[in-house]
Amino acid sequence: MAQDLKNECVQLEKGLHGVVKQCNNLNRLLEHAVWEEDMVVEETILFNGNLDEFLELIAPLIRSRKWTVNDRHEVKPFLRSLDSIFHIRNGK
């Protein structure tokens, strides 16, 4: 019975060694990982004109059924997305 317990402990120790080895490999990979948010560069588009001119120019796009935001055709999320990349500058 003692021999069986010893053999079981040896097997568990080998399994634990394998887990520790995998954790160390994963830790090394994560240290050098480039996270998605670090890869994305947000750009801003500057529109030199007033809001009425901007809306007139994008009206055909808004009316179009060819776009989706998160697989849905909803105007509010679409406009929020545009607002995050466009900056409208009134004046000259």
pLDDT at 39: 65
CA distances from 6 to 3, 11, 19 (A): 5, 9, 20
pLDDT tens figures, 28-45? 888 877 776 666 677 889
pLDDT tens figures, 10-23? 999 999 998 899 98
The answer to whether residues 54 and 62 touch, using CB atoms and an 8 Å cutoff, is no
Q: How many CB atoms lie within 10 A of CB 70?
A: 7
The beta strands (E) that lie in 5-50 are given as 45-48
First to last CA, the chain: 90
How far is residue 66's CA from residue 80's CA, in Å, rounded to a whole number?
Answer: 17
Mean pLDDT within 49-75: 91
Res. 77: pLDDT tops 70: yes
